[in-house]
C-alpha cells in the first residue's frame, strides 16, 4: 500500500460488522501520534491522567516521511523525522503513557463516557478524548512520489525548502497554497517552476500578482506531471504540455526537488457526526483553546490547523489539549 494511501486510511470510517470483543475504561484517550499526540501524552502523563494513546495507521504521523528536521527547537545538529518521533514517544512512555498500535475505526461522542472503537473490535470508554489524527497531504498518485519520498519529494516547503537553497525546484498546484509555497521557495532556491494544469491560477489576485512579479518563478501553464527521474534522488520531472490536445508534447525539466501543493485532507471523518468541522474537514476549536463543540473532546495538530502545519505548532497544540483535558476532568 502506498504511503499516502495509508495516511488517508487513518481517518477512514470502518462500517464493518465486526463484533466488539472487549471494553476498557480510561480517563484520557489520545487518538493519533505525531508531535501533537505524543506531546499531549507527555503532559497528560505528568498530570497523572494515565493517558492511553493509539498511534494510528502511521505511528509518528507525517513527520516520519521527513528525512531531515532542522527547525524543531532542541536539535542543534538536526535530526530525522523518525528519530524525533521516537524521542517524543520514549519521553511520553517515561512518564507512564500507555502507547499502543491501533487505529480508531468509529466514535460515539453523544454522551460521557465517550466511546471509541479501535481496530473495529475493541471499545474504549473515555472520560475525555484528545483527537490528534493529523491531515493527509494530497498526492497526484504517481509511483514516483513514493519512490522518491524523502529523496526530493515533499508536501511541505516550509519544512524542507531549506535543503534546496540555490537549487531548482518544481511546485505543483494553482491555488493560494501553491503560490505561497512557490514564493517561499523562491526566497531560497535558484529557480522555481510552478506547474499549473490549467491556463490560469485559482489563487487570489494578490497571490497571483506576487507570483508574476517574482523573477525566480516561472509558471508552466497547461502542464501536468507524468513522472520524476533521477538516480536515487530527484533530478528532473517529466511533464505533459497541452495534454489531450493536438499539440500535446512531453517536456523534461531539470529540478532537484518536487513539491506537492494541492491541499491536505484532515483525518476527521469518523468524528463528523458529533464534532463541528469547516468545509474542508478541519475540526473547529474555540479561539486559543483546543476545545471542540463537545465538552470533554479536544483537538490538536494538523487535524485542526489549516494554517501552519508545523511540528512545533502541532506540539504546542498538543500541550494545550492535555491541559484543557486536565482542567475539564478536575472540574468534573
Torsion of CA 321, 327, 330, 331, to 10 degrees: -120
Torsion of CA 303, 305, 309, 314, to 10 degrees: -80
All three cell numbers of 289? 483553546
Strands (E), the chain: 22-31, 52-54, 98-100, 104-108, 114-118, 122-131, 135-137, 153-154, 168-172, 191-195, 217-220, 223-229, 236-241, 249-254, 257-260, 264-266, 297-299
Tell me the CA end-to-end span of the chain in Å, nearest whole number: 43
13 burial (CB, 10 Å; 0-12 / 13-18 / 19+) is middle
Please name the residue that has the C-alpha cell 507512564: 96
Q: Could you tell me which residues come within 8 angstroms of residue 185 by beta carbon, excluding any fewer than 6 positions away?
A: 157, 161, 164, 169, 171, 192, 259
Catalytic residues: 156, 159-160
Q: Are 172 and 220 in contact (CB under 8 A)?
A: no
- Using CA atoms, how far apart are residues 32 and 46, in angstroms rounded to an integer? 19
Cα–Cα distance list, 218 to 150, 157, 288 (Å): 25, 17, 39
Amino acid at each position: 500500500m502506498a504511503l499516502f494511501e495509508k495516511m488517508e486510511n487513518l481517518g477512514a470510517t470502518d462500517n464493518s460488522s465486526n463484533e466488539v470483543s472487549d471494553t476498557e475504561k480510561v480517563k484520557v484517550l489520545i487518538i493519533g501520534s505525531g508531535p501533537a499526540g505524543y506531546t499531549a501524552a507527555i503532559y497528560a502523563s505528568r498530570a497523572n491522567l494515565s493517558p492511553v494513546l493509539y498511534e494510528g495507521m502511521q505511528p509518528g504521523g507525517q513527520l516520519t516521511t521527513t528525512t531531515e528536521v532542522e527547525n524543531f527547537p532542541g536539535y542543534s545538529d538536526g535530526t530525522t523525522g523518525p528519530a524525533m518521533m521516537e524521542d517524543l514517544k520514549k519521553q511520553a512512555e517515561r512518564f507512564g503513557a500507555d502507547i499502543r498500535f491501533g487505529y480508531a475505526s468509529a466514535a460515539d461522542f453523544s454522551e460521557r463516557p465517550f466511546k471509541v472503537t479501535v481496530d473495529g473490535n475493541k471499545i474504549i470508554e473515555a472520560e475525555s478524548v484528545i483527537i490528534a489524527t493529523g491531515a493527509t497531504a494530497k498526492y497526484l498518485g504517481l509511483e514516483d512520489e513514493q519512490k522518491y519520498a524523502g529523496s526530493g519529494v515533499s508536501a511541505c516547503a516550509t519544512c524542507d525548502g531549506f535543503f534546496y537553497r540555490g537549487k531548482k525546484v518544481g511546485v505543483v498546484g494553482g491555488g493560494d497554497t501553491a503560490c505561497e509555497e512557490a514564493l517561499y521557495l523562491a526566497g531560497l532556491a535558484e529557480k522555481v517552476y510552478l506547474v499549473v494544469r490549467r491556463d490560469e491560477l485559482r489563487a487570489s489576485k494578490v497571490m497571483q500578482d506576487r507570483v508574476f512579479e517574482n523573477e525566480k518563478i516561472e509558471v508552466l501553464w497547461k502542464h501536468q506531471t507524468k513522472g520524476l527521474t533521477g538516480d536515487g534522488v530527484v533530478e528532473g520531472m517529466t511533464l505533459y504540455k497541452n495534454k489531450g490536445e493536438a499539440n500535446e508534447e512531453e517536456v523534461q525539466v531539470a529540478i532537484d526537488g518536487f513539491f506537492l501543493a494541492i491541499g491536505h485532507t484532515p483525518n476527521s471523518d469518523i468524528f463528523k457526526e458529533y464534532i463541528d468541522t469547516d468545509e474542508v474537514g478541519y475540526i473547529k476549536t474555540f479561539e486559543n483553546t483546543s476545545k471542540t463543540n463537545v465538552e470533554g473532546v479536544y483537538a490538536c495538530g494538523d487535524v485542526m490547523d489549516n494554517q501552519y502545519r508545523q511540528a512545533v505548532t502541532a506540539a504546542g497544540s498538543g500541550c494545550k489539549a492535555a491541559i484543557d483535558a486536565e482542567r475539564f476532568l478536575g472540574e468534573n
